[in-house]
Structure 1
Amino acid sequence: MSETDHSPRTSTLDTVAVASGDPERDQPWADLGLKVDEYARIREILGRRPTSSELAMYSVMWSEHCSYKSSKVHLKQFSEIPQETPVGKMLAGIGENAGVIDIGQGYAVTFKVESHNHPSYVEPYQGAATGVGGIVRDILAMGARPVAVMDPLRFGPLDAPDTHRVLPGIVAGVGGYGNMLGLPNIGGEAVFDETYLGNPLVNALCVGVLRHEDLHLAKASGVGNQVILYGARTGGDGIGGVSVLASETFDADGPAKRPSVQVGDPFMEKLLIECTLEIFAAGLVAGIQDLGGAGLSCATSELASAGDGGMHVELDRVPLRDSTLAPEEILMSESQERMMAVVEPGDVDAFMAICAKWDVEAVVVGEVTDTGRLHIDWHGQRVVDVPPRSVAHDGPTYQRPFARPSWQDALQADGADSLARPTTGDELRDTLLRLVASPNLCDKAWITDQYDRYVRGNTVLSQPHDSGMVRVDDETNLGVSVATDCNGRFAKLDPYAGAQLALAESYRNVATGGARPLAISDCLNFGSPEDPDVMWQFAEACRGLKDACVELGIPVTGGNVSLYNQTGETAILPTPVVAVLGVIDDVTRRTPTGFVAEAERVFLLGETRDELSGSEWAHVVHSHLGGLPPTVDLAAERALAELLADASRDSVVTSAHDLSDGGLAQALAESTFRHGIGVSVSVADVAGGDAFVALFSESVARALVTVADDDADRLVELAHRHGVPLTPIGRTGGEVISVEGSFEVGVAEAKTAWSATLPAALG
């Protein structure tokens, strides 16, 4: 057959008529990931057995990845969070492709973070690349121009052979796809822990900008409107890909099933972006949906169920790369770089003309109807006749059993208090050098240098700053800032507090740059939902996020749940990654991370307590995990954020760095590395004068700031006004990091240790 030969394979075609007259045919529902009760429910909905095409649609749409069947009972509580932000109303939220936030001046920003974990283990480069491509199309589908990406990553131990297999490919995939799209990568994380061995986490975030009037939603409304599929051709890559692959546990040798991982084409995606934005500008779209997980099954059923409820599709019109594909394979394919639009009949010619201009293939595959049914035909024979909502939204809902693990109390009782602590100056110096060189705290330039951080010319802050920031408006300098964070060790010790600590750190990172936090998106990465211990962790994390958002007054705009992240019986650390987006009125007043001048005063904002359990020190020096994480203080976080935003707006501080992993010692070291400017500090007034606690505690709601002498009084007044504890600890200058009465270490020596780790391990 030629590439364009769409001849039907009638000998094996399973139509609605055949299914009605052949009720007892054996079907591979279990192989497609369906449970016996789910298959029975499908038969009940249809009043007959499903056709093979219908079975394919239900299997991918009812998968864990697409339906959230184990998690949605816990996600419902996010609707209790107020939908207003300090700037204005949320324009689109949970249930849409991505959340949309009003940021003022007629602008809105859409952002979302999603997972592509299991595909990236099977095929690191393509798994990561198509993760970026998928989240970019989610943002595009809202009517926005994508302007930046981020990549929170998790790997097994740095010295593990499989880490050396997956990490270079994943980083190359993230960079290769994003760079070719011309999107700056402005932030993210790279964290190493043995629980991620065999199950790396590849979370991808995209930010887009739009005017309020450009907002588009995923719905098929208007009887007679045409349904157009445009972009890349449909192939066999990704059949059952992320929808099935992300809905099962890996065994010790990898995934039990290895569906084809999607293959990305960033050049096609770039054309698709520009084509779609021109179509939006011309006002030619009544509804739009990207094709990601579950492909055509998702796009057709979600558009129909969110609109007037009916759609008729001629599946044999779908352009194919592989003419041998059966209807069910076409419906399951997750081939990339595809979009589906709903267009009024009178606008079809103009739509097609724009697609032709950008060399993007487009085909009318169907139309909106008033039947309340999704009808799909293959060469004149009906292969799908379903209520679309039953596929897209009314899938199974599981009340998975969950209970506090029997081992949780013992874990929390085993705190870091009994661990041997450094006491002498030499021991403290050695501890600092060991920590700055540790995999989680070392320089990540080996990774980030593979990303273009400044393409498009609007990047204001990016790695290694605390947050990424981009300019939205060239005239007013309005901008947005984004940060992602999560400490999985904290979440293991207390998932309720751990989720709040993830939110708090991202919130703080956005504030140190001078932005005011507005909203969050989350990517909740956990082990098997069939394990009551894991489900308890998940339930507690959701409860923690909801309570924190209510207290901080910021909404959850949407996000992603990724379950079954475990190898055999070993689940990953619970990893509820939280992305916080903030707004800054004038990006020229942003605050950088790192010392910028000699002879400036150094202040510590916030209170330091003896909180070392779950810390990087306990992890690196003692391989210990136990106790309780640092105490959450959301009121203190809010006060600190308000102070930092005011200080940036009024140009009071010259630099700001949050305190988190590695504590004050790590913040001091990283601040000196930025421009090679040393610092001399005294910690006599911090943590009761205990130098170890002062330097390595990971207490929250803290930041390190510098000010010129003339502005010190202004900072003191700001701290007093916001109720934030403030401690003067020293001055910048020289070529060493000096801790009075304890030790000093050369900035160059410390930076060499910090910079050498990843190149030495990865080449």
Structure 2
Amino acid sequence: MSLADSDRELVVEELEREPTPAEAALFENLWSEHCAYRSSRPLLSAFDSEGEQVVIGPGDDAAVVALPGSEDGGPEEGSTYITMGIESHNHPSYVDPFDGAATGVGGIVRDTLSMGAYPIALADSLYFGEFVEPRSTARRSDDVDHEHSKYLFEGVVEGISHYGNCIGVPTVAGSVDFHPDYEGNPLVNVACIGLTNDDRLVTAEAQEPGNKLVLVGNGTGRDGLGGASFASEDLAEDAETEDRPAVQVGDPYAEKLLIEANEQLIDESLIESARDLGAAGLGGASSELVAKGNLGAYIELERVHQREPNMNALEILLAESQERMCYEVAPESVDRVREITERYDLGCSVIGEVTDGNYTCTFEGETVVDVDAYFLGEGAPMNDLPSEEPTQPDTDLPEVDLEEAFEAVLSSPNTASKRWVYRQYDHEVGVRTSVGPGDDAAIIAIREASAERGSANGSSGDGRETGQGLAISSGAAPNWTSAAPYEGAKAIALENATNIAAKGATPLAAVDCLNGGNPEKPDVYGGFEGIVDGLADMCETLSAPVVGGNVSLYNDSVTGPIPPTPTLAMVGTKEGYDAPPLSISPETDSTLVLVGDLTLGTEDDSAADEARLGGSEYLAQFGGSDAFPTLFDEPAAVIDALADVANDASTLAVHDVSHGGLAVSLAEMVTDDAGLEVSLPVSDDADDAAVTGTLFHEQPGRAVIQTESPAAVAEAFEGIAPVTRLGQPTADGTLEVSAGTHQLSIDAADIRERRATIERALE
């Protein structure tokens, strides 16, 4: 580790002396891109983070949002709060996929604990290189290491499932995407939802000089040293061996004890403020805690409980050992905190106290750090980087037979079943999950805090049902944002909102994880600017404030930069926990309708029967390029209408139309007991391009609805979006599609077999 020359000059000017080795290391980590957001912070003001439902927005360990409790949708006194946070663990997951992914889960859960909340749900969005040979010869390469991508994929999923299952927090939602540009740098983004209320709320802002700083949890070791700076540079070719010490090692059983101990500490109002130990370890957590309160600290580093002998001051300060929390505790409460932590077999050290002076650390009687806490945490200068706006491709559409196109798109890993992944996650622990993974969005039941115990947990049955459901959707679409960063990011926000609306919920708030390559490359930074602005604009349009998030840059390796990847985790609320299923009902006295455009004209509308296929899985499979699809003029109205229709008694099934287009959505709705007979209104002389365009374009915001009252659906969307009758269900479990003279027929068993791509590749 080394402090950049320009940064060292600023530090020397502020301190009026050379920094000590420990100070230099602290500045190097806390002023890194990973901690200080030096390249991204100037862009983040684009997000609207305010709203009557927002209790705490960006800047804390997690955001806090009040669930609707009044007629106007805002919080009432005594409202139930949820916390929302999202974290990336990208570089560590490349170096060590199991521990890198596992500790990503642990970190975002501890961010939830820091707010006085109990973690109730996880959502993971994962991005890997391909390990199934692409159909298009244009995308095949002898340099692609499919086995390594498969190794990373298996290790990450195992790490997430192991940690999440052990701590008893259900993984209920997420996404998995594959793209060749993730081969040298996979992405692991994990979101967590917690439950709390006003009485239990804690922040990461130190409150009062004289209060004690107490470190609780596992002993400090040497794992994770320099993790923040490691996450702020491109992955080197030898990263898997050279950077292994920068990856933390998790202990989920200790985390479970920490969750329950934290719950009791909050129950007894023993915590004044809290911060989990993540990036930059104790130095990062303790200095940020006091800096937010415009205060200082005095810490004796030798008091930190350690699991390895002979650790020096720098190691104690910067180690990113997991399962640790830093609490501010009133002096009179310290003994009770120690009693509780001992009961849970957790380490507990009173390491110092809050002061009204500098952030000062001593080690064995020697002062090793003496700096202004605010300057340490907020003094990093922002980068002013050049950017280039991405260019739009020319249209170059491949001519592909309908059956060949359907086979390729349906069996692509991006649109295939992800059951191999989510079946490894316990998504029902806590008995809150009403709709789990594999659907458009998850739904979990919300319980009030117990009146007797004051706890938000409710896992022992002490929380009363509120009758309110929380819908959760998380993901991105690298094909979309590769084709058009700004438009693709807008589409991602709309897609997540559509997933929520398909379950009858309306958007409440969102958090984002903005992943990009090396921002010092103008074209990469231009793409990153595009995804920030795209998410910001659509979320504002949808009245879904972006209340927090994470930025991960320098996701660049010897194989090149990743696609700009704006993962969005969005929540919505609804009355009740029931939702229309994704699968079709065999009820034959019903009609299947499509909400949204059946076809999209080219930009000049000279060929109205051709779709704009930019960013589609169809083009990913067969090569070619096209303009990105247009979006609805009134997307918020579409979402509101879709949620209303989904909750209507005449609605039997709802499924959004997105990745893979209408063809994949129809295939996913078919079961062994219920099929579909669909007739697309295209002319008999329509060619392959027109038909494949209709079936495979990916304009977001659309949905297929099975309804007993198609007229009511048309009325609900009048003046908002077109509604097209597609056909009706059958009882034979077969998908029959006719489009002019083109015919397609496939039964449910064949659909399952074609969509089992991931399972086959891992056998």
> What TM-score do you get using the length of structure 1 for normalisation?
0.90
Q: Does 1:726 align with 2:689?
A: no
Shift of 1:150: 1.1
Name 2:108's counterpart in structure 1.
Answer: 135
Report SS of the residue matched to 1:135: helix
Matching residue within 412, 435, 447 for 1:438: 412
Q: Does 1:678 align with 2:675?
A: yes
* Structure 1 residue identity aligned to 2:472: V
Give the conservation status (yes or no) of the 8 Å contact 2:541–2:636.
Answer: no
* Structure 1 residue identity aligned to 2:83: T
Give the conservation status (yes or no) of the 8 Å contact 1:433–1:750.
Answer: no
Q: How many angstroms apart in 1 are the aligned matches of 2:236 and 2:660?
A: 34
Report SS of the residue matched to 2:213: strand
Shift of 1:754: 3.0
Give the conservation status (yes or no) of the 8 Å contact 1:82–1:553.
Answer: no
Name 2:187's counterpart in structure 1.
Answer: 201
Task: Please say which of residues 119-128 and 157-166 is displaced more in the overlay.
Answer: 157-166
Residue segments in structure 2 that go unaligned for 5+ positions in a row? 70-78, 133-145, 448-463, 601-610
Name 1:115's counterpart in structure 2.
Answer: 88
* Structure 2 residue identity aligned to 1:375: T
Shift of 1:228: 0.5
Q: How many angstroms apart in 1 are the aligned matches of 2:237 and 2:247?
A: 20
Mapping for residues 383-402 of structure 1, pairs under 5 Å = 383-402=368-387
Q: How many angstroms apart in 2 are the aligned matches of 1:654 and 1:455?
A: 28
Q: How many angstroms apart in 1 are the aligned matches of 2:416 and 2:220?
A: 42
Q: How many angstroms apart in 2 are the aligned matches of 1:482 and 1:157?
A: 27
Mapping for residues 214-293 of structure 1, pairs under 5 Å = 214-241=200-227, 243-254=228-239, 257-293=243-279
* 1:486-527 Cα deviation digits (max 9, x unpaired): 222221222111211111111111111111111111111111
Name 2:604's counterpart in structure 1.
Answer: none
* Structure 2 residue identity aligned to 1:547: D
Q: How many angstroms apart in 2 are the aligned matches of 1:364 and 1:665?
A: 61
Residue segments in structure 1 that go unaligned for 5+ positions in a row? 1-30, 423-427
Give the conservation status (yes or no) of the 8 Å contact 1:443–1:754.
Answer: no
Give the conservation status (yes or no) of the 8 Å contact 1:521–1:578.
Answer: yes
Q: How many angstroms apart in 1 are the aligned matches of 2:587 and 2:68?
A: 37
Q: How many angstroms apart in 1 are the aligned matches of 2:309 and 2:362?
A: 17
Give the conservation status (yes or no) of the 8 Å contact 2:593–2:710.
Answer: no
Q: How many angstroms apart in 1 are the aligned matches of 2:483 and 2:755?
A: 30
Q: Does 1:190 align with 2:176?
A: yes
Greater helix percent: which structure? 1
* Structure 2 residue identity aligned to 1:395: A
Name 2:620's counterpart in structure 1.
Answer: 619
Give the conservation status (yes or no) of the 8 Å contact 2:53–2:68.
Answer: no
Give the conservation status (yes or no) of the 8 Å contact 2:96–2:244.
Answer: no
Q: How many angstroms apart in 2 are the aligned matches of 1:754 and 1:560?
A: 36
Give the conservation status (yes or no) of the 8 Å contact 2:184–2:559.
Answer: no
Mapping for residues 592-603 of structure 1, pairs under 5 Å = 592-599=581-588, 600-603=590-593
Name 2:515's counterpart in structure 1.
Answer: 525
Report SS of the residue matched to 2:704: strand
Matching residue within 489, 495, 506 for 2:479: 489
Task: Please say which of residues 489-498 and 319-328 is displaced more in the overlay.
Answer: 489-498
Paired-residue identity, %: 36
> What TM-score do you get using the length of structure 2 for normalisation?
0.90
Report SS of the residue matched to 2:592: strand
* Structure 2 residue identity aligned to 1:295: G
Mapping for residues 748-759 of structure 1, pairs under 5 Å = 748-759=748-759
* Structure 1 residue identity aligned to 2:393: A
Name 1:69's counterpart in structure 2.
Answer: 38
Shift of 1:688: 11
Name 1:414's counterpart in structure 2.
Answer: 394
RMSD of aligned alpha carbons: 1.9
Change beyond 3 A, Cα 1:545–1:318: same
Matching residue within 561, 565, 574 for 2:564: 574
Mapping for residues 549-588 of structure 1, pairs under 5 Å = 549-568=539-558, 570-588=560-578
Give the conservation status (yes or no) of the 8 Å contact 1:436–1:750.
Answer: no
* Structure 2 residue identity aligned to 1:129: A
Give the conservation status (yes or no) of the 8 Å contact 2:49–2:547.
Answer: no
Matching residue within 430, 433, 453 for 1:456: 430
Name 1:44's counterpart in structure 2.
Answer: 13
Change beyond 3 A, Cα 1:99–1:182: same
Change beyond 3 A, Cα 1:337–1:532: same
Matching residue within 648, 651, 658 for 1:650: 648
Name 2:136's counterpart in structure 1.
Answer: none
Shift of 1:246: 1.1
Shift of 1:751: 2.3
Report SS of the residue matched to 2:756: helix
Give the conservation status (yes or no) of the 8 Å contact 1:686–1:694.
Answer: no
Q: How many angstroms apart in 2 are the aligned matches of 1:500 and 1:654?
A: 29
Q: How many angstroms apart in 2 are the aligned matches of 1:688 and 1:463?
A: 41
* Structure 1 residue identity aligned to 2:703: A
Change beyond 3 A, Cα 1:596–1:151: same
Shift of 1:574: 0.9
Shift of 1:687: 13
* 1:286-306 Cα deviation digits (max 9, x unpaired): 111111111111111111101
Shift of 1:569: 6.3
Shift of 1:676: 4.6
* 1:548-598 Cα deviation digits (max 9, x unpaired): 23322221111111111111361111111111111112113x222121333
Q: Does 1:83 align with 2:50?
A: yes
Give the conservation status (yes or no) of the 8 Å contact 1:93–1:558.
Answer: yes
* 1:609-655 Cα deviation digits (max 9, x unpaired): 112122101111x134x33221133x443222111221233333121
Give the conservation status (yes or no) of the 8 Å contact 1:99–1:111.
Answer: yes
Shift of 1:379: 1.6
Q: How many angstroms apart in 1 are the aligned matches of 2:393 and 2:755?
A: 36
* Structure 1 residue identity aligned to 2:558: G
Shift of 1:358: 1.6
Change beyond 3 A, Cα 1:513–1:111: same
Give the conservation status (yes or no) of the 8 Å contact 1:489–1:614.
Answer: yes
Change beyond 3 A, Cα 1:644–1:334: same
Matching residue within 492, 498, 504 for 1:502: 492
Change beyond 3 A, Cα 1:254–1:299: closer
* Structure 2 residue identity aligned to 1:238: G
Give the conservation status (yes or no) of the 8 Å contact 1:486–1:501.
Answer: no
Q: How many angstroms apart in 1 are the aligned matches of 2:356 and 2:427?
A: 48
Q: How many angstroms apart in 1 are the aligned matches of 2:247 and 2:256?
A: 21
* 1:52-81 Cα deviation digits (max 9, x unpaired): 111121111111111111111111232xx2
Name 1:479's counterpart in structure 2.
Answer: 469
Report SS of the residue matched to 1:268: helix
* Structure 2 residue identity aligned to 1:44: E
Matching residue within 637, 640, 644 for 1:639: 637
Name 1:702's counterpart in structure 2.
Answer: 702
Q: How many angstroms apart in 2 are the aligned matches of 1:687 and 1:44?
A: 77
Shift of 1:308: 4.2
Name 2:451's counterpart in structure 1.
Answer: none
Change beyond 3 A, Cα 1:318–1:748: same
Task: Please say which of residues 227-236 and 468-477 is displaced more in the overlay.
Answer: 468-477
* Structure 2 residue identity aligned to 1:360: L
Q: How many angstroms apart in 2 are the aligned matches of 1:437 and 1:636?
A: 33
Q: How many angstroms apart in 2 are the aligned matches of 1:403 and 1:735?
A: 50
Shift of 1:222: 1.0
Report SS of the residue matched to 2:245: coil
Give the conservation status (yes or no) of the 8 Å contact 2:181–2:559.
Answer: no
Shift of 1:253: 4.4
Report SS of the residue matched to 2:674: coil
Mapping for residues 163-182 of structure 1, pairs under 5 Å = 163-182=149-168
* Structure 2 residue identity aligned to 1:650: D
Change beyond 3 A, Cα 1:615–1:528: same
Report SS of the residue matched to 1:69: coil
Q: Does 1:156 align with 2:151?
A: no
Change beyond 3 A, Cα 1:569–1:715: closer
* Structure 1 residue identity aligned to 2:508: L
Name 2:746's counterpart in structure 1.
Answer: 746
Shift of 1:749: 4.3
Name 1:16's counterpart in structure 2.
Answer: none
